[in-house]
Structure 1
């Protein structure tokens, strides 16, 4: 079986998982109010791990409510954070203190996942995703801002960067998913699929060990929130949109881009580094040793230093 075919089957299984849930509650992600309340309580607990002063704001958009967390000096360089799939903006707890020292942070919860943003329309197309983020950028009057984006967030950041006349300056991509290549180790990542289909704490622990070289570093409070996100998530229908970008699309990105990938990442291989080096006009790449897909947790200090050196 070819890798592309296997990849397609995995994605179709994800779709089946997403579409098999029948809505019992008027919410794109959650089936019941109890589910949502449980998740939001865990989100609030995990957000306390940021350990910096922050503000939360909900803004109305044409597709629903966007939840944004802001921190850092108001006169600092503007920096947007785009989290990984089902990870929510709380995932930045190992990095936020370093990033917010000299930057004004805008951490945006992606609309089609468990978090505090709420979708009130049908699932968004790629074009609508771009519109939604630009609505948020315009609301905050963000111009010439930087982006740090992880996993699925990295794919979204790249999607935004290939748009003409975007307002982005520098971009940091942390193990971007489906951006330079299809999932590298489909067999290993199937554990995440079965976690979605049949959620359990046992499968969750196994998945963390596959995606992280140091799962013991994951804070137990955040671990609980992330488990609930995986348990309740119906967001994976949008994965079919996540095709790797073409050579020409990557060449069209004129922004300075830093790509950081763990040496044991199950999502990316050396092919991602090679394509980034070949086609990103102002691209820089670095492999983080002893790190998996969750490199911001596996090697926090090295990743923080690499990001700040590039941004500043």
Structure 2
């Protein structure tokens, strides 16, 4: 039933997206109008300042468009790629970036098919194309034996990349990875996010934060504004339909050390997710973060940061 419900929900998003795309004159995969995109980018720039460490931004040409990458940390530090959650963009790492960037060279990448500064110039990407896209970025920076941290959808992408033969990934951290070990755990509770996409409003946005976070009051108002505009202005897309849980054999193929963290109030994952991780990942370590929801990197930032640093270093 959760699988069927999930498919119906995302198909509804797809139908809505197609209808809005036909009416739009602004040719952009993610945003509906130029002014809405400009408003979002302005909010992005303000939220990025929350990092409060030196950083640079680069735009990398790829086969499928321009990838926006934020770089921070010591040049001689071990390379660490950050993959954000759905509609969150790389600015979401503001509660975690200081400890992560202390000894790592950070490469935070905006996903092309979501709100952010990356720009998709082709059709919606297939799984194979997503893998090609990220490997082009890794090759551009000559990343070898690098670590990777992925949150929610970013965790699913990190897992996808780890299943590719001859990948260059070393250690992996998955923060409540979506659709990775199982389908959404509490589908009914996640309808607030669907309703926010279809009929955006401040009230629905607040309800969504309360569903996905145990401490929404910890979320910076500056970041909240950006996250809200991402949901309000961005077109819905069908990419979630491609996010199936990985098979037993696919998980078994991952030989990297993997740390999986989920919140005890997570609506996306449950104990069953950790059970599959422990059963099929050869070198897994799992932990439940108390008093945390799906947004565990904000709900319990210090605990999550400490767990990641101990594992990575």
TM-score class, shorter-chain normalisation, is over 0.9
For 1:1-312, list aligned pairs within 5 A: 2-22=1-21, 23-312=24-313
**Conserved? CA contact 1:149–1:172, under 8 Å:** yes
How far apart in 1 are the matches of 2:28 and 2:245?
Answer: 30
Question: 1:280: Cα distance to partner?
Answer: 0.3
**Conserved? CA contact 1:81–1:108, under 8 Å:** yes
Which stretch of structure 1 is more off in the superposition, 17-26 or 85-94?
Answer: 17-26
Q: 1:82-118: CA deviations, max 9, x gaps?
A: 0000000000000000100000000000000110000
How far apart in 2 are the matches of 1:234 and 1:199?
Answer: 11
Which stretch of structure 1 is more off in the superposition, 30-39 or 15-24?
Answer: 15-24
How far apart in 1 are the matches of 2:17 and 2:92?
Answer: 23
Question: 1:232: Cα distance to partner?
Answer: 1.8
**Number of aligned positions between the proteins:** 311
**Conserved? CA contact 2:16–2:236, under 8 Å:** no
**Conserved? CA contact 2:197–2:236, under 8 Å:** no
Question: 1:12: Cα distance to partner?
Answer: 1.4
Q: 1:194-226: CA deviations, max 9, x gaps?
A: 000000000000000000000000000000000
**Conserved? CA contact 1:19–1:234, under 8 Å:** no
Q: 1:30-70: CA deviations, max 9, x gaps?
A: 11110011000000000000000000000111110000000
How far apart in 2 are the matches of 1:302 and 1:3?
Answer: 31
**Conserved? CA contact 1:258–1:284, under 8 Å:** yes
Q: 1:245-292: CA deviations, max 9, x gaps?
A: 000000000000000000000001111010001000001100000000
**Conserved? CA contact 1:17–1:196, under 8 Å:** no
How far apart in 2 are the matches of 1:214 and 1:93?
Answer: 16
Question: 1:13: Cα distance to partner?
Answer: 1.7
**Conserved? CA contact 1:94–1:297, under 8 Å:** yes
Structure 1 residues not aligned, in runs of 5+: none
- Superposition TM-score, scaled by structure 1 size: 0.98
**Conserved? CA contact 2:274–2:286, under 8 Å:** yes
Structure 2 residues not aligned, in runs of 5+: none
How far apart in 2 are the matches of 1:29 and 1:281?
Answer: 37
**Conserved? CA contact 1:80–1:148, under 8 Å:** yes
Q: 1:119-165: CA deviations, max 9, x gaps?
A: 00001000000000000000000000000110000000000000000
| Aligned alpha-carbon RMSD (Å) | 0.8
* Secondary structure of 2:208 counterpart: helix
How far apart in 2 are the matches of 1:89 and 1:148?
Answer: 12
Question: 1:235: Cα distance to partner?
Answer: 4.8
How far apart in 1 are the matches of 2:257 and 2:14?
Answer: 34
How far apart in 2 are the matches of 1:38 and 1:57?
Answer: 20
